[in-house]
Structure 1
Amino acid sequence: MNIAILNTGCANLTSIQVAIKKLGYTSIVTSDPSIILKSKKIFLPGVGTASAAMKKLNEKNLINTLKTLTQPILGICLGMQIFSQFSEECQGVKTIGIFDDCFTCLLKSSNLPLPHMGWNYIVFDNSHPLFKNIDKKERFYFVHSYIIPLNKYTLATTTYGISFSSVMQKNNFFGVQFHPEKSGHAGSQLLKNFLEM
């Protein structure tokens, strides 16, 4: 199976590639649209700011490629957030626009420290194939200061002062706010589920 990890220039590309390899799959880190379009599964990781990620995607002419994908793609952390319409970060950044919502700073709704960093629960319906063989008592690893509010595409929620979308899906576009590649057995199972869906 052809698996592509989009090269967004962020720091966690290798950790995702290693996590995929541990599941018995081979992936390629690429920004080549022809390779991405032929891939069966795609990962869009992200660490950093929405403006930097969007700049990189624009430089590599990947925005339209992403919008036209029909195969499953998983946005991780910032990767999920740039599937939204708009980010309030850095005086506002227009993002890809797959999901209808904008992502906002957690600070507006919580007096807790930012970023939200560490292990937290997700609340989900385990009938969805993405959550197959994942116990509801499992926790996942988060590092973020921005959130997408609960909406019609929300598959799982997490609470940190307020509840926000921690997993989303619109058609073939999936997003997770946490880092499955850093979330131990539960994160590995979620990656396996995505690859085998």
Structure 2
Amino acid sequence: MTTVTVLAYGAGNVASVQFALERLGATVRLTADPAELAEAERLILPGVGAAGYAMARLSELGLGEPIRAFPRPLLGVCLGQQLLFEASDEGGGVPLLGLIPGRVRSMEPAPDRPVPHMGWSRLSIVRPDPLLEGLDDSAWAYFVHSYVCPDGEATLARAEYGGPVPAVVRSANRWGCQFHPERSAAAGARILRNFLELPA
């Protein structure tokens, strides 16, 4: 049985992620301990709310450097994906973990496009990856976000919301999902299962 560690640092939807993983048969460990993080088989960085608060919590708990140094599969979820990048415009500017190049920017509202982007959007696969095994352009995912990551070489899949939204990203052993896989029905469950099956 696969064991996965979920960071419980006070800025994430830990319970729903935990239950989704347990439904797939995983053993879930919740921790905010840097030593336990460093020894994890695979790691999920959830996130809900403000980037500045999330980064402050990671700093207070001494988790920033262990996350940056983590050598096995790591998945950032929602805000957790954004935290993988270099900086965010949120709150006048916030330094992030710096694991993927680029700056996270606020989404621009429009009459037919309210912000936050909240609801179901179709995924468009940009390039194949083990995390997306079994998915195609018929997959839908559930999004809730007001900031958007840069669309670049790290992008594996996009959604459209007044422009491209990098929905899944990857750099080396680090992946991110802008949407909530734990709330994205069959497509989300498949992504989580694929993550559990990545070689550690």
Give the TM-score of the pair, scaled to structure 2: 0.94
Q: Which has the larger displacement, 174-183 or 25-34?
A: 25-34
Residue deviations 1:157-186 (CA, integer Å, cap 9, x gap): 111001121111000110010000000111
Following superposition of structure 1 onto structure 2, how do residues 1-197 of structure 1 map, counting pairs within 5 Å?
A: 1-107=2-108, 110-111=109-110, 112-125=113-126, 127-197=128-198
Q: Tell me how far 1:130 sits from its aligned partner.
A: 1.0
Task: Give unmatched runs, 5+ long, in structure 1.
Answer: none
Residue deviations 1:86-136 (CA, integer Å, cap 9, x gap): 1100111111101110000111xx522000000001111573211112242
What is the alpha-carbon distance in structure 2 between the residues aligned to residue 133 and residue 157 of structure 1?
Answer: 16
What is the alpha-carbon distance in structure 2 between the residues aligned to residue 184 and residue 126 of structure 1?
Answer: 22
Give the TM-score of the pair, scaled to structure 1: 0.95
User: What is the percentage of aligned positions where both structures have the same residue?
Assistant: 37
Does the Cα contact within 8 Å between 2:126 and 2:155 map onto a contact in 1? no
Amino acid at match of 1:164: V
What is the alpha-carbon distance in structure 2 between the residues aligned to residue 127 and residue 58 of structure 1?
Answer: 34
Q: Tell me how far 1:10 sits from its aligned partner.
A: 2.8
Amino acid at match of 1:73: L
Q: Tell me how far 1:23 sits from its aligned partner.
A: 0.3
* Secondary structure at 1:178 match in 2: coil
Residue deviations 1:4-48 (CA, integer Å, cap 9, x gap): 100121351000000000000111110111111111110000000
Aligned residues: 195
* Secondary structure at 2:192 match in 1: helix
Amino acid at match of 2:90: E
Does the Cα contact within 8 Å between 2:123 and 2:158 map onto a contact in 1? yes
Amino acid at match of 1:9: G
* Secondary structure at 1:54 match in 2: helix
Does the Cα contact within 8 Å between 1:3 and 1:28 map onto a contact in 2? yes
Task: Give unmatched runs, 5+ long, in structure 2.
Answer: none
Does the Cα contact within 8 Å between 1:140 and 1:187 map onto a contact in 2? yes
